[in-house]
């Protein structure tokens, strides 16, 4: 690149952005990423309820929907994507509900049903922008709902956000466990910490125990049953922990183990 282009400030700008993100993340005491290899195993359910359970205990909590392709957090909390108010710097306030500060690409999407067909670098760019411009302020915990898989997009989240710990979600079904193992190995390879495993949708249908904790050498944080009330709460836009006593107790235990 010719020197004159450097003088245009591109390098300085990139450095400035990096600094801004660092400062932002510096105000967050702990970042917990909820992750799994497979989609549909309950990551969003766990992320939403973990955030609600932490807020219920009196912590200041943020929830970042890092699933750019299929953002589900807004819907799960009964929020509508009605556009975001962005200030002159491009910064915006998170939505607030159930004592949680929520950030997602949802309010920036034209239509909720539109498919986000983005290539890797664009997804990464969107995520970085989202973090860069959201005004989370001081937080005790930021819960991050990660996209599934072990490709570009979760990797970017990990590198940009540097979560302090990961909660791995899986159903006890063999295929889900295999994918969860892959994602857990990716976390380990990056030298990051796994807080434990949540077995979800435990039932006759999906199985009783993933046995993933033994293989990974990490604690079992909870074994959550397949339960109509959990799905209904999500469909109604309410964290199930606020309505279902059994789930409230399970998440209270997860919180104890994590903090």
Ligand X SMILES: Nc1ncnc2c1ncn2[C@@H]1O[C@H](COP(=O)(O)OP(=O)(O)O)[C@@H](O)[C@H]1O
104 touching Mg ion, by CB under 5 A: no
Judged by CB under 6 A, the residue of 230, 238, 241, 250 near ligand X is: 230
In this structure, the chain runs to a length of 259
How wide is the angle at C-alpha 204 spanned by C-alphas 38 and 252, nearest 5°? 65
Q: Which two tokens stand for residue 127?
A: 């995520």
Determine the Cα–Cα distance for residues 202 and 205; give it in Å rounded to an integer: 8
As measured in angstroms, the least distance from the Cβ of 15 to ligand X is 35
Give dist(CA 259, CA 257) in Å, integer: 6
| 76 is a site residue for Mg ion (CB under 5 A) | no
* Site residue total, Mg ion (CB under 5 A): 3
Q: Cα torsion for 126, 132, 133, 138, to the nearest 10°?
A: 130
Q: Tell me how far apart the 2 most distant CA atoms of the chain are, in Å.
A: 66
Smallest distance from the beta carbon of 226 to ligand X, in angstroms? 4
Q: State the minimum distance, in angstroms, from the CB of residue 189 to Mg ion.
A: 23
**What burial class does residue 79 get, using C-beta atoms within 10 Å of its C-beta: 0-12 exposed, 13-18 middle, 19+ buried?**
middle
In the chain, how many H helices and how many E strands?
10, 8
- Give the C-alpha separation, 254 to 250, whole Å: 6
For residue 73, the minimal CB distance to ligand X (Å) is 9
The item of ligand X, Mg ion, none sharing an interface with residue 83, based on CB under 5 to 8 Å by kind, is: none
Per CB under 6 A, does 134 bind ligand X? no
Please report whether residue 201 would count as binding ligand X according to CB under 6 A.
yes
- Whichever of 133 and 241 has its CB closer to ligand X, that residue is 241
* Stretch 51-80: interaction string toward ligand X, x if CB under 6 A: ---------------------x--------
In 3D space, the residue among 148, 145, 178 whose CA is nearest the CA of residue 163 turns out to be 145
Stretch of 43-51, 55-63, 90-98, 188-196 contacting ligand X, by CB under 6 A: 43-51
Query: Pattern 138-177, binding to Mg ion, x per CB under 5 A?
Result: ----------------------------------------
Instruction: Fill in the per-residue mask, 20 to 59: x = in contact with Mg ion (CB under 5 A), - = not in contact.
Output: -----------------------xx---------------
Burial 193-208 (b: 16+ CB within 10 A, else e): ebbbbbbbbbeeebbe
Contact stretch for Mg ion (CB under 5 A) within 50-58, 72-80, 160-168, 170-178: 72-80
Interface ranges with ligand X (CB under 6 A): 36, 39-45, 72, 200-201, 224, 226-227, 230-231, 234
């Amino acid at each position: 690149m010719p020197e004159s282009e450097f003088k245009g400030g591109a390098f300085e700008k990139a450095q400035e952005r990096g600094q801004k993100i660092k400062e932002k993340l510096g105000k967050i005491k702990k970042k917990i990423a909820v992750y799994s290899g497979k989609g549909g195993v309950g990551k969003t359910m766990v992320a939403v309820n973990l955030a609600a359970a932490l807020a219920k205990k009196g912590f200041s909590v943020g929830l970042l929907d890092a699933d750019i392709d299929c953002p589900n957090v807004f819907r799960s909390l009964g929020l509508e994507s009605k556009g975001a108010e962005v200030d002159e710097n491009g910064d915006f306030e998170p939505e607030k509900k159930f004592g949680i500060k929520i950030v997602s690409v949802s309010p920036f999407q034209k239509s909720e049903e539109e498919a986000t067909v983005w290539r890797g670098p664009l997804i990464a760019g969107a995520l970085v922008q989202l973090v860069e411009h959201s005004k989370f302020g001081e937080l005790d915990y930021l819960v991050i709902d990660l996209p599934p898989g072990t490709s570009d997009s979760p990797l970017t989240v990990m590198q940009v956000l540097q979560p302090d710990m990961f909660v791995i979600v899986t159903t006890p079904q063999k295929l889900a466990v295999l994918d969860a193992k892959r994602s857990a190995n990716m976390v380990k390879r990056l030298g990051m910490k796994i807080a434990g495993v949540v077995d979800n949708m435990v039932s006759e249908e999906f199985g009783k125990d993933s046995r993933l904790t033994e293989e990974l050498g990490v604690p079992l944080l909870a074994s959550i049953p397949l339960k109509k009330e959990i799905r209904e709460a999500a469909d109604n836009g309410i964290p199930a922990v606020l309505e279902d006593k059994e789930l409230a107790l399970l998440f209270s235990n997860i919180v104890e183990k994590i903090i």
